[in-house]
Structure 1
Amino acid sequence: MNMGSIIREKRKALGLTLQAVGDAFGITRSAVASWERGDTRPDQDRLPALARLLKTSTAYLLTGEKQHDRAGFYVPFVAAMAAAEDVDLPNPTEDEFSMVPQLDVSAACGDGKFVDHVVVKGGLAFKRSSLRDFGVPEHAARIIYASGGSMSPNIQDGCVVLLNTADRAPKEGKVYAICTPDGGLVLKRLIWDYHPSMGAQTWIMRSDNPDKIAHPDKILPPDDRTMIVGRAVWNDNRL
């Protein structure tokens, strides 16, 4: 049994909702659902607390084995390591996962200039096979947390968004993280269309939210301080 299946099984057995688990860690219910599907996995430093919440052991989350293996022998090494929260835990599937850094959105876009090395501690573990499926090179993968409702219903406030920072050339209808001179880092869908203020075809930043009074179309600023950071490729669903 993999970690996602274990989390789902234990959560349901305890009558916990996805939201309840998310609230315990300050993350969204969709992030917990992503753990359970196996698309991502919890940060290693969260595993002891997650095990306590689910009334199980860190060793069981990691290996799917209880105190005794299938042959009936005690596994002291795994159990001892699981009990030591301040010790690096064994990661039997580390070859399957890549830790994707999380961008510090507030620091990443000073004056519209993207600072790629500004990240918060840690990140989110993604399956390497998923990154390949999304066409995202590991070195170019970054995550951010969406803020606000401008891209609702497709990207909800607080959702994890996976970016491919190697894919910065505008493509019709795709969603990009964009540093703008006045808006900081924004997630917008790029549309090639006529705009009356330009009197010509141009790239337009469009919100998915149907309320166009609150979220009007804007021209992608033709400014050297504007920079496409990367294409958004996933936020619980492929974008």
Structure 2
Amino acid sequence: MAEARMADDTDFSALYHALGISAACTPEQLRKAYRRRVARLHPDQHGEKGDVARLQELNRMYDAAMEFLRTHGRLPGSSPPAPFAAAIARRPEERATAAVASVASERDPPGPPEAGPERHSRYFIVLAVLAITVLALHALEAPRSVEGHRVEAVTDHATGNIVSTSSTIVLGMGKAQVKAIQGAPLGGHDIRWDYGPSWVDFKCGDVVTDWYSSPLRPLRVASPHPTTQDWDRFDAARPPGC
């Protein structure tokens, strides 16, 4: 109560005038100006004996200003902060609640809003669209493998080459048929066509004599390498001198 009466009886304009600052100053500016003025008035520094009374009055006014700051959240004569100004405009019973809520919000900033049903629904829809997109891309880029399928091969009497009845590369097949099934090679030479990590060998009159189908880019073949059945079928129709 004594402190409250001291603040009420204090002429704060005289305090600001004595310190050489305005009422719009910050608490830090007030403290710095106060320390500078005390250093001038203090007898142990540059002050005179007659300045003791002025120093005591300055201390009293400064203590009142600090008490006002702790009570109202601002210096006397300055504009109230926005949260307190809004609270002043409300009914008296709402002022305390508004001030407490303002202080709490500054101390503990609100986190992100809790996810409601709509937010969860949008989240799962996005996940579903992404999953469908990934599956579609995977299907487009999936290896064109025919491994495990039965391959029927016959001899083309016009060319003497072995051909497949299931659009699958087989031993003894000619280059034109391989290109029609697998497409143009990415590199290589006359004896070997490269399809990335996979390859097809041609010998014995430019017919398929071996291959390797990599999982990274499979060929249209029934197995990664020719099987025993493939070689038996090829041997039965092997060209002379091959």
Would you say same fold, with TM above 0.5?
A: no
Q: Which has the higher contact order (CA 8 A, sep 6+)?
A: 1
TM-score of the superposed pair, with normalisation by structure 2: 0.19
Question: Whose helix proportion is higher, 1 or 2?
Answer: 2
Question: Whose strand proportion is higher, 1 or 2?
Answer: 1
Find the structure with the greater CA-based Rg.
Answer: 2
TM-score of the superposed pair, with normalisation by structure 1: 0.19
